[in-house]
Amino acid sequence: MCVLIQFYFAYFYFMPLTRYKDPEPGTRRPVSVIVAAHNELDNLIELVPMLLDQQYPEFEVLVINDRSDDDSEFYLYEIEKQFPFFRVVTIKKTPEYLNSKKYALALGIRSAKYEHMLFTDADCRPCSPQWIEKMQSGYASGADVVLGYSPYLKTKGFLNHLIRYETLLTGIQYLSHANRGCAYMGVGRNLSYTKACFFRNKGFASHIRTIGGDDDLFVRDAVANSKVSIVIDREAHTESIPKKTFREWLTQKRRHMAAGRQYSAGAKRRIGSFLAANLLFYVLTIILLVFSSQLPILALIVGLRYALIFPVYTLSARRLQEKISLPLLPVLDVVYFFNYLLLGVSVLMYKKIRWK
């Protein structure tokens, strides 16, 4: 049953993603690119020139300098003097009991000049000068929300392999579900939506005090009355800087999983079924290896699972132009799902999670 459930997800949801073609660019609408940054001077020095260098006819770059006490303010204001389409919104203090990032983004959205907005984080890098244009092609079908993909940079070490594999599987899930008309989340590192959509869904009001969720919980609310599309070509990606230690990464993932508890019931059933089927598969495999006498049958089932599921993952990675290590794939898969279980238990036991 676990393997059959995995087959269902692989071939009903994931396989269509491998054949997905992005929409052709349509009307070039003016765009506000919005970045919320807290003490991100080093990242801004790298990111801002890449944003200013975007090849798009009409756009603005709006950076919300959120309570920074480094030299971000001086750097951003110097850039603002030189480029008329670059603007800075400075926040000195966040109102009590409000999530600081959502407050910063909300101010940025209200200050944005244009109806169509494109979001990324300070530690991200557009993969091409056509990033804005490629992401805006998602509106050609009349969408209100466009979901993009944001992989992590490749570095040395097993942790980096795990981070990129986790990002790949997460991306395959939310992009393939959106492609099937069941969008449930997006990532703020590469996300676009309209002002009308934001205000129609009352912004972040339903989760303003929740840590995280400025991306996935907003998409959760928006799908009820908005059309969602995806853009997955490499030129539409933003690359993110991965965490360097396991502890930092776990803290980041706990924050994301805490928001996941507030997904819709349907999304939790679908994603929960996929995760439970994979985790239970490994648990039962270990148990049967120890106690079962029907090892040839077990070997057949496990072999079929690897032979039919992993090629779908590989094709999906190729479509997203992600590189995964084939020799490490079985190990990464085991570690990913057991790590997910441990993270879930951690979130339930220790609910106090902080933003910057």
User: What are the pLDDT tens digits along the chain (356 aa)?
Assistant: 999 999 999 999 999 999 999 998 878 899 999 999 999 999 999 999 999 999 999 999 999 999 999 999 999 999 999 999 999 999 999 888 888 999 999 999 999 999 999 999 999 999 999 999 999 999 998 999 999 999 999 999 999 999 999 999 999 999 999 999 999 999 999 999 999 999 999 999 988 877 778 899 999 999 999 999 999 999 999 999 898 898 888 877 777 776 777 889 999 999 999 999 999 999 999 999 998 888 999 999 999 999 999 999 999 999 999 988 899 999 999 999 988 887 776 655 555 544 45
Give the model's pLDDT for residue 350: 57
Buried b (16+ CB within 10 A) or exposed e, 109-128: beebebebbbbbbbbbbbbb
Instruction: Say if CB 272 and CB 184 are below 8 A apart.
Output: no
Half-sphere exposure of 91 (CA within 13 A, CB side): 22
CB 148 within 8 A of CB 237: yes
The pLDDT of residue 196 = 96
Which residues have C-beta within 8 Å of that of residue 229, sequence separation ≥ 6? Answer: 23, 138, 139, 141, 143, 145, 146, 147, 178
Reported as a single tens digit per residue, the pLDDT across 171-211 is 999 999 999 999 999 999 999 999 999 999 999 998 887 77
Which residue has 């985790």 as its token pair?
A: 279
| Spatial distance between the Cα atoms of 340 and 342, rounded to a whole number of angstroms | 5
**Model pTM?**
0.92
Tally of CA atoms within 13 A in the half-sphere of 153 that contains its CB: 12
Give the model confidence (pLDDT) of 149-166 as tens digits: 999 999 999 999 999 999
Q: For domain 30-244, which CATH number applies: 3.30.450.20, 3.40.50.300, 1.10.10.10, 3.90.550.10?
A: 3.90.550.10
Q: Output the pLDDT for position 340.
A: 81
C-alpha–C-alpha distance, residues 52 and 61, integer Å: 7
Q: Nearest to residue 150, comparing CAs of 179, 180, 185? A: 185
CA atoms within 13 A on the CB side of 31: 26
The answer to whether the beta carbons of residues 324 and 317 sit under 8 Å apart is yes
What ranges do the domains of the chain cover?
2-13+265-349, 30-244
Cα–Cα distance for residue pair 183/145, rounded to 1 Å: 10
Tell me what pLDDT residue 353 has.
46
For residue 35, report the phi and psi dihedrals to the nearest 5 degrees.
-130, 125
